[in-house]
Amino acid sequence: MSNIIAICNQKGGVGKTTTAMNLGAALAKQGKRVLLCDLDAQANLSEYLGFEEDDKPTITELFAVVAAQAYIEADTVKSSIRHNELNGVDYIPANINLANADVFLLNALSRETVLKRILTEDVTKDYDYVLIDCLPSLGVLLLNALAAADSMLIPVQVQKFSIDGLKALTSLCNQVKATINPQLYLLGILPTMVEHTTVSRNAVQLLEDTYTDKLLRTQIHRSVEAAKSSESGKALCLTSGSRLGEEYIELAEAIQKSF
């Protein structure tokens, strides 16, 4: 049985895509079977993985099928899965047309559960982990991710404005849990872009004071390594001597202990 993790934060630029990619690659390096799902119209994760448009469906087309007929064959979903050999992960890409999701989901039956109908057990049973890279929004696509997920991982840039937005996200998590997904829980809050400054230390302390039992011990530091990794398409944990790579390996180990 797979563990489905939604990596989310309604604020952009906090490291969601970097975390999805590098956590996925770190889990794969440790022998786990990983499926990444890009749920952002910007498709940064897909680009990170070297995706190029082809004749196979993306997550956008899968959403459109379910929105139109309320059901999708597992084989159709499986046909959308690509493999990235370099990083040892499978993935379902996104494209810019996902930005129209609000339109084609408008009349969909139970539109918050479309992704759950895509990521059925028949599709996910071959994977240990499914990581959903969510868009920076509190809209219908995020609701879909939380309805389909077992847990949510929240990367948070260690600055006050990023932390302030956590209240709305954790409130949404509680609402989803109370209504459409009782199994959903907060896996952890991941401090990202950590620096050796007073401001950064104070922000981490604020997180610890507010979310004591949910704040992960692993911290992801700010580094140009992340940008270089996205340009090369090679995960940080596959680069010898990468400090960030070691941090994501530590995160992967912590995630496995949580299940």
Query: Are the beta carbons of 7 and 153 closer than 8 angstroms?
Result: yes
Q: Is the pTM of this model over 0.75?
A: yes
Name the least confident of 33-37, 130-134, 157-161: 157-161
Q: H or E segment at 118?
A: helix 114-118
List the domains of the chain with CATH numbers.
3-258 (3.40.50.300)
pLDDT in tens, 119-145: 999 999 999 999 999 999 989 999 999
Confidence of residue 106 (pLDDT cuts 50, 70, 90): confident
What percent of the chain has a predicted confidence (pLDDT) above 90? 75
Highest mean pLDDT among 62-71, 79-88, 158-167: 79-88
Query: Are the beta carbons of 193 and 157 closer than 8 angstroms?
Result: yes
